[in-house]
Amino acid sequence: MPGQLHPSLVDASLMPYWLDDPDRPAPRPGLDADTTADLCVVGGGYAGLWTAILAKEREPARDVVLLEGNRVGWAASGRNGGFCAASITHGHANGAERWPGEIETLDRIGRDNLDQLESSLTRYGIDCDFERTGAITVATEPHQIAWLREMVAERSGSSYLDRDAIQAEVASPTFLAGVFEPQDTALLHPGRLAWGLAAAADSLGVRIHEGTYVSGLSSSGAGLEVRTGAGRVVRAGRVALGTNAFPSLVRRVRLHTVPVYDYALMTEPLTADQLASIGWRNRQGLDDMTNQFHYFRMTRDNRILWGGYDAVYHFGRHLRPSYDQRPETFDLLARQFFTTFPQLEGLRFSHRWGGAIDTCTRFCAFFGTAYGGRAAYALGFTGLGVGATRFGADVMLDLLDGVDSERTRLEMVRSKPLPFPPEPLAWAGIELTRRSLAAADRHQGRRNLWLRTLDRFGLGFDS
């Protein structure tokens, strides 16, 4: 019935599963006095935390302060699916289309970044359930099988799974074929990664202040002033902005991103019989080939995270806590889950939540500086930032330190996406794109005139 939740959702908690953890650390004190620093990092998600850590690794004597408006990892960094991909371009195909001359370099840098991320977890003793399981992309419609074969032809190390092979890996009546990429995806616990990075930053001498909302940024002599909502000031020589979907302190780039809300469900732990009914012994991360795609994975305690499909933009680029809950999307996701895994009928969901993704028109991060090179930003990760934010942190530090590196010479780093138009054009264009993508999914992937036009100009919209 309209307005009625699927029975599996009735008792689900409304907070992100990853943050509903008894080991979540207590919040750190807010900034209660004016201070100075060599580097002020704004944002306590992955981008900001990695920037603080790498800044201290590069120069241990550098005085670094990090300001977080809420709690470390509470926003996108604590709400994602825990897929840590090697790609820094939102997938090989997206990068190859935009920077064909650089894609081999971009892929190599992405793999190196993932390797370095894993090494950092070991070095700092961060236990975040990191598993380098690889990922499987599945076809759920006959026309998608040809797309999978194209993927295998383009990606070395990947393997095609016919229907029998995919069913042997993960049993679902909807899976027709798959492509397994064994090396380029790890799974992890997003909240524990954020908390572990914060602890590592503490150990290096970074001063982290939570509950410290930043309201403004301005020049001050040879440095910058970062102002907080409580009237405190940090005077810093350099500032790194890891603000994700929130309005940038560099006003000229605000039209370059829009906040898009994504939603996820987490099941209760599966019993031994339920596990046996689906297989999934190798615990790979999965996604499907539809434009409005799902992503799903196993946790250490044998729950299934099931997310994606809807990507919801609200008129005016607004970010509101009420948007984190969308019952109609949760109901739809639950029904789709049991269509995919009918053998799990009766399983219940323990958590349901949503959160904002910072989307840009090229689907992967862009970078830049402001205030005469004294401030740097990395924005637009479009949902694939768990690994790519570490790369973004290195780019911001290269830009702030004046380092001429392989990273800063990349066209990907030197170029920017086209901005979204102002309202009401942004809402109209995004809504038309969403409806067109849904129509393409219903019609064997055929893209209408609107989508073909976006393709021609390298634009688009993706969940």
3-class DSSP string for 186-237: EECCHHHHHHHHHHHHHHCCCEEECCCCEEEEEEECCEEEEEECCCCEEEEE
DSSP three-state, residue 352: strand
**Amino acid identity for residue 330 in this structure:** F
Residuewise pLDDT in 10s, the chain (463 residues): 456 799 999 999 999 999 999 999 999 999 999 999 999 999 999 999 999 999 999 999 999 999 999 999 999 999 999 999 999 999 998 999 999 999 999 999 999 999 999 999 999 999 999 999 999 999 999 999 999 999 999 888 899 999 999 999 999 999 999 999 998 999 999 999 999 999 999 999 999 999 999 999 999 988 999 999 999 999 999 999 999 999 999 999 999 999 999 999 999 999 999 999 999 999 999 999 988 899 999 999 999 999 999 899 999 999 999 999 999 999 999 999 999 999 999 999 999 999 999 999 999 999 999 999 999 999 999 999 999 999 999 999 999 999 999 999 999 999 999 999 999 999 999 888 888 888 877 877 888 888 888 887 777 555 4
Residue 299: count other Cβ atoms within 10 Å of its Cβ: 19
Pairing of strands 349-359, 258-267: antiparallel
Spatial distance between the Cα atoms of 337 and 301, rounded to a whole number of angstroms: 19
Q: Across 89-166, where does the E strand assignment appear?
A: 135-139, 159-161
